[in-house]
Amino acid sequence: MQALADFWRTYQSTVAFAIVNAFFALSTYSVLSAGILSFATVTYAAIGGFVGARLILQTGLDPLILLPAAMAAGALMAYVVALIFLRLESHWMALASLALILIVRVAVINVPSLTGGVNGLSVPVTLPIGVLGILLALAMIVFYRLSVSWYGIAAQAVREDPAVASSLGIAPRRIQTIAFVISGAVGGLGGMLLALVLQFLSPDTYFVNIAFTMIAAVVLGGSYHWIGSIIGAAVFTALPVIAQAFVPHFQEVANGVVLLLIMIFLPRGLVDPRAIRLRRAARNANANANANADADGAPAKVASAAGAAL
Amino acid sequence: MQLFIEQLINGCALGALYALFGLGFGIVFSTLGILNAAHGSYASWAAIAALAAVEQLKLPFLPALVVGVVGGGLLAVVVDQIAFQPLRKRGSGMLGALITSIAFWIILDNLAGTATGQQSLSFPRGSYPGTMFRIGDIPIPAMQLITVAVMLVVTFGLHMLIRRSRFGAAMRAVGWNQTAASLGGVNPRYVVIVTAFIAGATSGLAGVLGGITTHNVSFLLGEGLLLKGFAAVVVGGYDDVRGTAVAGVGLGVLEVMSAQYLSSGLRDGITYALLLTFLLVRPRGLFGSLGFSRP
């Protein structure tokens, strides 16, 4: 029992960071699921984080009450970004969102009255880890409901082929705008949670490294299902901690190596709905025992590979 | 007036670094279709290699520069073959290559941090040409002249290579469509390796020269160059190296001037605002051609 308590004390902060990162990953996934690669999650996080921190310092209210404000700020920013950026072609869009992150950092440094400037901003309150867990559970319910809703199916269609989607009566631009607003709300929420976990914000808190690790977490977890983002974020947060035990001083390097290996050998990520469907189909085919060898060979092979991965 | 001219020269030298770095980054993006986040790490490692050559092997300036440049090129080839070749075979899009390049960016930058002991090192005085030329009252360090001259030569060379040589035609063909290029008698793998080497070598050149002129050899060297070089490539236009050169120098001058006359806090802000404006209003850049698009 004592060992368990020690374990928890040691790794409590890792769990907290994993939960916060899960929000960032979900935010990135939200736009990716509508077929857009955007790094702007960091921008929403920065806005949510600084707005939330400033409100806490000014009003002294409980952070839980102020979370919706951070979400709204992030969502509003995302809406503006969507209006301006969605005109761009896919990879210009990614580059523009990268430029946005760089600009936001400059803005953060130059508005010290709001953000504390280069000295940073300390946030005197925190949230218990249980609350973080509950918030993540709520987010999971929302994302599950979204994934089976009309919107979720439409987003999937837009991701696969915008032209086909619009011929089916789906307006891709509208779906993508909704995806941005969801991404902004979740990102803003994550940003404020990060402020509460770190209890200190600096201009470098929300910078390119978060953007890159989050997109990496989403792809690593599997970008075709929302649960992949959460698993990816957990793996990506836990990995350096685990690696520290084996290769101290090189935990970040280990992170990079694992990311590389996963991308090369499991390009669709750890959670891959297609592989799961194929495996199910293969099992049914085996049960019926009348599938011919050609059709069965390929899915069974994919399924066993996926099985090894899972 | 004297201050203005001095700063103009400083800006040109700084911009030449951005341009030099951006050249390789732009070539990889426009011919191989890879947004390479690890490109800055080549510059850091080239500078570290050159510094090691100077300090450990007591090599003079030119051989040390060659060590850095060849080192950067070889590193780029290794990264390309490990991180991008498996994805290329499978035909997965830009996202996969971006992620593996991020993986290498993490790996190489952390190793670079370890190699330099998390410090900012600098080349010892005397290991590079330190002469100061004077035109009237204006002092011009030899290294700044060398940087600008190297940038001009490399830009001209690359332009001739890409637009006028058979190999350049092969590069553009592979960039357009690998299968069609190999049907046309081009060996895509060879072209890709040489392209990666050229990109890594120019990045290494920028790294070594930048490490000397800014007195900063660390993993931060590559990161700074990456962001600014990226801006130079976008503003100049991806498919023309001359555009990158002009935009790089322009951004360098703009940066130094805005730090001098406006506010040093806005120094990066103006560059990035310009970058975003170009992406939104004129994504093909200053000199990019209209018909350029990647499938």
**pLDDT at residue A96 is higher than 90:** no
Residue A188 contacts residue A70 (beta carbons within 8 Å) = yes
Contact yes or no for A212 and B105 at CB 8 A: yes
Alpha-carbon B81 to chain mean position: 20
Average pLDDT over residues A33-38: 88
**pLDDT at residue A294 is higher than 60:** no
In this prediction, residue A267 carries a pLDDT of 78
Distance CA A213, CA A231 (A): 13
**Burial environment of residue B55 by CB neighbours within 10 A (0 to 12, 13 to 18, 19 or more):** middle
Residue B87 contacts residue A263 (beta carbons within 8 Å) = yes
Distance CA B209, CA B194 (A): 22
In this prediction, residue B76 carries a pLDDT of 96
In this prediction, residue A310 carries a pLDDT of 38
Note the pLDDT tens digit of each residue in A119-133.
888 888 888 888 999
A122 membership: H or E segment, kind and range:
strand A121-122
Extended strands (E) in B109-210: 132-135, 138-141
**pLDDT at residue A303 is higher than 80:** no
| Amino acid in position B102 | I
What's phi and psi for B151, nearest 5 deg? Answer: -60, -45
Q: Chain A residues within 8 A (CB-CB) of chain B?
A: 37, 84-85, 87-89, 91-92, 94-96, 98-100, 102-103, 105-107, 109-110, 212, 215-216, 219, 249-250, 252-253, 255-257, 259-260, 263-264, 267
Contact yes or no for A259 and B106 at CB 8 A: yes
Pick the closest to residue B280 from A84, A130, A306 (CA basis).
Answer: A84
State the ipTM, two decimals.
0.82
Pick the closest to residue A177 from A69, A38, A24 (CA basis).
Answer: A38
Residue B38 contacts residue B32 (beta carbons within 8 Å) = no
| Amino acid in position A106 | V
Pick the closest to residue A255 from A238, A235, A239, A231 (CA basis).
Answer: A239
Residue A251 contacts residue A240 (beta carbons within 8 Å) = yes
Q: Which residues pair with B138 in a beta bridge?
A: B135
Distance CA A20, CA A131 (A): 12
Question: In the structure, what pLDDT confidence band is assigned to residue A296 with cuts at 50, 70 and 90?
Answer: very low
Interfacial B residues in 189-228 facing A (CB < 8 Å):
227
In this prediction, residue A291 carries a pLDDT of 52
Closest partner CB to A37 (pick from B95, B104, B275)? B95
| Most confident region among A31-40, A255-264, B84-93, B275-284 by mean pLDDT | A31-40
Place of tokens 């992620």: B99
| Bigger pLDDT: B247 vs B266 | B247
Average pLDDT over residues A80-84: 92
Taking CB atoms and an 8 Å cut-off, how many pairs form between chains A and B?
105
| Set of chain B residues whose Cβ sits within 8 Å of the Cβ of A98 | 230
